[in-house]
Structure 1
């Protein structure tokens, strides 16, 4: 009999419907996403790119209520490794998303570091390794952001290691966690991105469990990933090749990840994100239905 993992709250996100941008003709309309994510059996969603879903709290609340949906988190992108000069522009972006996230009753803000390689064109934007000074800017900046988001909006930030950013591999993630205050900075563990960058999600949960504040559930196709790594393919083109695949066909196995997370003894969101930008409009819903069925078989 499957163990019931009662500390894990499952949801999905616009990302699983091929949504990467606030407005893009290749993406499904927001109302279709809301209809289909509810039809697939999910009750929690993320906001996705700011401006994709309605940004008026009253309107968005009404749209969610009639579909029995709730928001688990908002998402922001940052480039805090560039130092204090980017703080004001960063905060202008963060406060918009944080205000809507707070208004929707969510408690988490997912923070993604900026890309060093353009995710569409593969252009190298910055060196893939940070200098010691940039590491200090990144860690101190994230602590400042965590403090200000908590003080102003009552939200916890969870920083998301991501392919083609400076926070990707096990070594980088551990360096970041060891250099930041647990009271101010949590981690959003994305199982797919961490595997993409060579990490072991179960090991990270068992080693740094007190820092895990949020989960993204995702798998990678190991054969496509091997080619992506061998040929230094950028993340965007890798997604178009299908590197992020439908569970349970890829790695890591999600059941051990969920069981390890359950053992932490805290309530955690586990939000499904299967990167598929761009994708045919009729593709996401059947995948979402099958993924929700699979996760139920895992006990969530």
Structure 2
């Protein structure tokens, strides 16, 4: 153990309970998620897909407060590489999530770029590589979104590199960071997605520390990942193969990531997100309890 990681605020998210959609009969009811995430020893949560948790701020505040929980962030998808024509629809969606996020006292909005292939069928929706013009749309669009979200809602925008999106590999992540203003937009580094796409989280934190605004903690099973790459699986089917696994059995090692983050000298959320959609209802809680215990053993 490396000593107390007192700048790291650990939490979990609906994702670790197999929740990907606002409504889905295969997902645990939201009340059960809130009960169990508190029981597992977490004090911070994310909102998850908008509409999964109650969207009435007073009701949600009551439900969260009485379980001793607090909200760290909201999440939204955006396809800003498509240019100015998608701005209004994007802003309408973002505003809804940002308003609830602010009402919950959170300070971060996590933005995931839209997928380039269908998550269920693997059908390509767009090319995996952006043109120069699309990169310009993406970077300028995210900067504008960061500015507007800060102005209207007082939230910090953190962009989440994600498998099967245009911000995924080390090259794409570095290009995005090099092309954007850290005053307007920073990164939500998801250790699992970055490893899934071949990146080194510790290296990224050491090289771009001032741009790391938020962390998602997850691990990849290297053996399953090798099969995913071989079979060219999209992310959804890869998750069903259990490519994302319970710590500490996968990669990257989380303690060095947390130590590197602690060294940045700023407070950072580190939200556990073990992608496991769909899953048996009784599966998440024991994993969450063990994961929280493991993170405590790392000093977090």
Please indicate, yes or no, whether the TM-score normalized by the shorter chain is above 0.5.
Answer: yes
Where do 4+ consecutive residues of structure 1 move more than 2 Å?
none
**Deviation of residue 231 (structure 1)?**
1.4
Q: What is the alpha-carbon distance in structure 1 between the residues aligned to residue 166 and residue 187 of structure 2?
A: 15
The answer as to whether partners of 1:2 and 1:297 remain within 8 angstroms in 2 is: no
2: distance between equivalents of 1:223 and 1:117?
Answer: 23
Matched, 1:71 2:40: no
User: Cα distance, 1:120 vs. partner?
Assistant: 1.5
Q: TM-score, normalised by structure 1?
A: 0.99
What is the match of residue 57 of structure 1? 57
Q: Secondary structure at the match of 1:20?
A: coil
Distance 1:120 1:94 in 2: 24
Aligned residue pairs total 300
Alignment of 1:60-99 (within 5 A): 60-99=60-99
* 1:37-74 Cα distance to aligned partner (Å, 9 max, x none): 00000000000000000000000000011100000000
The CA distance in 2 between the partners of 1:288 and 1:35, in whole Å, is 12
Quote the residue 1:23 is aligned against. 23
Residues 151 and 177 of structure 1: is their aligned pair in 2 closer, same or farther, counting only changes over 3 Å?
same
Query: Does residue 118 in structure 1 map to residue 118 in structure 2?
Result: yes
TM-aligned CA deviation for residue 161 of structure 1: 0.1
Alignment match, 1:43: 43
Structure 1 position 259, deviation (Å)? 0.1
Query: 2:160 aligned with 1:172, yes or no?
Result: no
Task: Tell me the equivalent position of 2:181.
Answer: 181
Contact (CA 8 Å) 2:2, 2:259: kept in 1 or not? no
* Matching residue of 1:232: 232
Shift of 1:118: 1.1
Q: In the alignment, which residue of structure 2 is the partner of 1:195?
A: 195
Aligned residue number for residue 270 of structure 2: 270
Distance 1:230 1:183 in 2: 40
Partner of residue 107, structure 1: 107
CA contact (8 A) 1:40 1:292 kept: yes
Q: Secondary structure at the match of 2:202?
A: helix
1:214-251 CA distance string (max 9 Å, x none): 00000000000011111110000000000000000000
**Structure 1 residue 2: Cα displacement:** 4.2
TM-score by length of 2: 0.99
> For 1:214, what is the secondary structure of its paired residue?
strand
* RMSD between superposed Cα atoms in Å: 0.5
Partner of 1:296: 296
Is 1:222 equivalent to 2:233 in the alignment? no
SS at structure 1 position matched to 2:67? coil
The 2-side partners of 1:102 and 1:244 are apart by 30
Q: Where does structure 2 lack aligned partners over 5 or more consecutive residues? A: none
